[in-house]
Amino acid sequence: MTIHDTTTGPRRRRLGEGFVLGLIATGAVSVAIAAVIAIVLRAIDLFGPAVTIPLPLHDGGSVPELDDVPEVLASSYSAASVTVGGLPAGARWLLVLEGALPALATVGVCVVAWWLGVSLIRARPFRRSMSTAIGVAAILVLAAGLLGQLSGALGRSIAVDHLAAGDPGVHKILWPFLAEIGLAPVGWGFALALIATAFQLGSRLQKDTEGLV
């Protein structure tokens, strides 16, 4: 008579799921640490004696080096990397915020991913705190993404004014202010808000189910 251990399969499955979820949680923490390090390195670079920043041009023109390439039909450039000395502190801080705010949003999303991984390992994903955390992350992604882009545009504007103080003709070459706002943070923010709503409904259903039991 052969006896089969029916608990081995589910146990191995749970161990495998726990390993994968733990790996995801660890990866989220690693990405958050990398984002913080990137913020610090960017700040160190921007507060140096000379700062190289891309500044938008009125008329960039074509790239002569690509004229002889048969597959290239046309080429153009719209910005110039300008190394600026004596950049005002306000411009430096705004340019730091341009990268720091999206990085902060990344850290927030990673923290939520870590907390979700831990909750799944404990088989309690529909906590009330989870929907709140995801909702906060949604607001953070939306606000940080838009404000970061605006901060960068304002910082470059101050840099152009700084250069124009020495030569007013700079305004004929560089845009005094140009903000190209991408709407990707809005889409990600609404997507996270929808996920937060789903978790809130899941938390209510879980509570109702526990009440029935």
The two structure tokens encoding residue 142: 């939306």
**Distance separating alpha carbons of residues 48 and 177, to the nearest angstrom:** 24
With a cut of 90, say whether residue 166 has pLDDT above it: no
Q: Which amino acid is at 62?
A: S
Higher pLDDT, 203 or 154: 154
**Distance separating alpha carbons of residues 91 and 81, to the nearest angstrom:** 16
Higher pLDDT, 11 or 86: 86
With a cut of 90, say whether residue 173 has pLDDT above it: no
- Give the pLDDT confidence score for residue 157 in this predicted structure: 93
> Is residue 1 very low, low, confident or very high in pLDDT (cuts 50, 70, 90)?
very low
Q: What is the pLDDT of residues 77-115, one digit of tens each?
A: 888 888 998 899 999 999 999 999 999 998 988 888 888
With a cut of 70, say whether residue 7 has pLDDT above it: no
> Is residue 37 very low, low, confident or very high in pLDDT (cuts 50, 70, 90)?
very high
Overall pTM surpassing 0.95 (yes/no): no
**Distance separating alpha carbons of residues 27 and 14, to the nearest angstrom:** 20
Q: What is the pLDDT of residues 53-77, one digit of tens each?
A: 999 888 877 777 887 888 888 888 8
**Distance separating alpha carbons of residues 93 and 157, to the nearest angstrom:** 13
- Give the pLDDT confidence score for residue 64 in this predicted structure: 79
Least confident of 70-74, 138-142, 148-152: 70-74
